[in-house]
Structure 1
Amino acid sequence: MSQNKQFRFSIAGQPLYPHIKLTRETFPRLLATRKIESDNAEYFGPFLTRSTARILIDFLNQTFRLRTCYIEIDGNFEVPCTQYYSKRCVAPCVKSLCGRAEYFEVVELARLFLGNKRKSFESEIISFMGGAAGREDFERALFFRNVYQNVNSFWQDKRRQVWLDDAVDTFILEENSEDIKIFLVTTRRMRMLGSRIFVFDSLSGVPPEQALADVIQQFYRFNTPREIRVSRDFPQRRELSQRLSQMFRRNVKIVVLKENSTTITAIRALGRTQHEDDLKNLSPKKNPSEIQSELKKIFGLKTKPARIEAFDVAHISGNDLAAAVSVWQNGRFIIERYKYRFFEGINELESLHEFTAERFLRKSENLPDLVIIDGGLSHLKAALKGVGNSADRRFIMIAAVKPRGKHSDISHFIMEDGRRIEFDANNEAMRVLQILRDEAHELANSAHRQSRDMGYFYELAAILPSLNENERQMLLVKFGSIKKILEIGEFQLRELFSKEKVVRILLDQKNNREGKSRKIRPPIIPIRYDDPNGDAGDLRPIKAH
């Protein structure tokens, strides 16, 4: 079934059920998304319920440990980021810890698991375990054994049944003179797993039943439920059933329900009650140009803002501050442009001043049209001081003020001239600014927290810079503590390393005793479990209990 077909009732770009996207990169990532794009990535799903999908995302990250960062990786990092020590990444950024071939072994296992190909998964992982053991790479063999055990536990837990092979999808068509609504409800036995609503303008001369045929053809791209039920018959129903059966190599029934059936009555009631919030939001989402026009109008900008940046500073009691910036450009959150920096010995406002001054000295980088500062009037003044009074400045700054005691909300904005603009949670353009502010806030807090809590893991890298990370980890396993490693003598070292490397290690030990070891701050890399443009921000991972 070609996805290039021009459907009269298209669902392209509309949010679907949760899916998992395996990116096509040198080192692929797994991301949650509700949108299927033509980007050469692999998609798996859908997965329901929403809570169970979030548990699945956490399980994937903890079990397979594929990277969640947005940086270019070539294996030449000196040390891994904090995700490695949190046991949430295999660290392909450090070649001595995980090379590309090793990484793709894990990618293949994740692919088989998400496709629910249980026999192939078992065969492959047993092969990987045997290969690692044969090379006497017992740590690698243990990793695969743990993956195998975790996956088997997941499959056996009925509460984690995220695949929908045994579910039923019911499509109910409703129409009036202006539009057509299709309610989709997915159930397993008597339990509702998820729902979607699709709304289309009525088309003159086109029967409304065509919307059912078009939606069903577009909706099933990677999997189908046990049965598809529809409230009305449509001419292509049998042919579509045959095509889906051939596509997924299983019998896919499309059954017409009777008009007065309890299923139709229940779903219509559901559409008018549980889905009232969805119905309120059924107006098409604004496109980037419309959002930009709205922001231009709200804040009195001279042009539509193509690029917007948000700044925030995180700290505890004013110590060890972390500043961060997030970027939105032409409708997309540009994660690879997110940055952070640590500050010591200065306060929050001084950190914000220095961070913004540093940012706007980089003339080579695209400048924003609008800048959001997380904080009040004093924060806005500190940032403006960092920018200076350049006559050619073409962007404006505004402060996003939190209501008292509600740090995730915005009460109002403050303009450079002191004017106050109230925040409207129903305004889509303002919500974009709130999300962007939250992104900067989350990065600043994450950088601050991980620097504080994960510093211990980087002490050995600072003490023994002559070794690679794999060699340092080997010493830590063998001797048990940094203190004991510092006490290792030349004789013991020669049993483990070449003569030249022993000389360098002894020099490292000497430098440490003399206080000459350089400090290594934990590298905190922006991470993301969902596609930032996949309408899946609510699918952040949660742990199963």
Structure 2
Amino acid sequence: MTKYELWQKAKMLPLLPGVYIIRNKAGEIIYIGKAKRLRTRVSQYFREGVPHDAKVTKMIHNAYEFDVIVTQSEFEALVLECSQIKQHKPKYNILLKDDKGYSYVKVTKEAYPRISAVLQKEDDGAEYIGPYTSSFAVREMVETANNVFRLPRCNKKFPQDIGKGRPCLNAHIGLCMAVCSGKISREMYGEAVDGALHLIRHGQGEILKLLRQRMEEAAEKLDFERAAMLRDQINAIEKVSRGQKVVRSSVDEQDVFALAASATAVCAAILRFREGRLVDKREFLFHDTQDVTAVRNEFLPRYYLEDSEFIPKSIAVDQLPDGWEDLRRLLEETRGSRVQLYVPRRGDTAKLVEMARTNAFERLARESGRYAREQKLLDETAALLGLRQPPQVIESYDISNWGDGTSVAGMVVFEGGKPKKAGYRRFKMQTVFVNDDYASMAETLSRRASEYEKGGRGQFAVKPDLILLDGGKGQISAVRKALENTPLAAVPLFGMVKDDRHRTRGLITPDGEEIQLSMHKSVFSFITSIQDETHRWANDYRKRLQKGRAYASTLQNVPGVGPATAKALLSHFKTVTAVRQAEYEELCAAKGVSKRAAKAVYDYFRQT
């Protein structure tokens, strides 16, 4: 079935709860979902003009038919959806894969041993402690032990590098004992390593007792430098202990859950508290989507009913999923006792939810290689422009023309806050033959929308989140009219206006109101960079065409060579110099050049 036929079929569905099953042309199930109202939900997939993220767009492209199962209630739809997904594992439903795996504490065999967290054992002679099921817990243990006992984490080799260079920043801020200074004996270093391993293996209680005993012995022997180091280690452990009281749950069994999104993925982070202590962290990445709500709605029931070995008494979330009461009821039936599913508004649990969200953002930043700065910038831009979500894909347009009425347009793309040069495009006007920026901009965006409707390739297959025009109310008015009844009609549209010195001043809304950027330094710099890049791209295209015209006019000085032949010669040889140096046979070989014209060009350049 075509997309239109699927939409027509979806319009015939009842406004009742149920499960829908989408198949590809081969009859394979590619997606399963539930709906409160089947007609409303399913028709959204196939109706023209409804925006979707990359993952859903791919699913719709591969959809060929669908079936539905009507249920008596949303609760029944939830139960049925979970069982069907578990059974069929459709390609476009989210896959519950996290970074969980066996981890080890590695202790190197060298004169000055190092302690680190690793994911697998190697045959390198080192000692490995483990395995542990939580990589998060291992990383936390190792980081705490290294910080408390001030063990080095640099690339220096000891004792070879002792006395070479100054101590690093870690030494100055109290996170390293500065073995490189030569003031730390091998015996003192060995005691620190033993203490770190004791802390990892046995916890804080026993190591504090041992360190206090060693400190008293050192003081009695008047070894005040060693006693001071032991005192600092005791203070560090006690400080860590005090800090851990903050990262605790008031509920013995609680999961804390939050989501974050980037330009290409959504991350779900879960902090797991047992006996009030943070015992694990799990992170799940879902690529090719930015739809946080859709991921939350699907992820929570699947995680607790399929993946998690334990449903806790309390689940604190950043936002409740759709149909959360049915989900809570299903969790309670599975657990066999009451389950609290809620959004904390204040207090320590609210802080823990924010902590989970921060971990999700950090994981996305590590995954994509981008810095949080770009995401923060897009968030700020969205807030200033009143957008529902950060504009991950921004397209910007500028018109460049010259005196004979010829115009060209440049289109640049910013994705994730950075230029995406592979998406840049250029347009030569096909219907506008006068210097009319409004008409030229309207033609450009009309062609852009047409390419998207036809399922164009590359950037033309992408629906932008924001469109910026170099110009004011006139350009916006012309483009809005051109985009009417197209899939791009709902894309937010703003004009970029400049001051008397031709510098970015602000943004114009479709209603003609100006948004001042001077009070928002980061957004001002961002919009300025987009506007400057669009202007550069459009002008470069115009200059290149002008240069080509100049070359073509030079060739038209040859008797018997008209515009078509001149264009064919330049298309084949690229430059006038190459045409001038070409042999007669080479000129004849150029497509669109007759033997008569080739001889005329050859004779002309041999005579001049």
Both proteins in one fold, TM over 0.5: no
Compute the TM-score of the two structures, normalised by the length of structure 2: 0.33
> Which one has the bigger helix percentage?
2
Compute the TM-score of the two structures, normalised by the length of structure 1: 0.37
Which of 1 and 2 has greater Rg? Answer: 2
Structure with higher RCO (Cα < 8 A, 6+ apart): 1
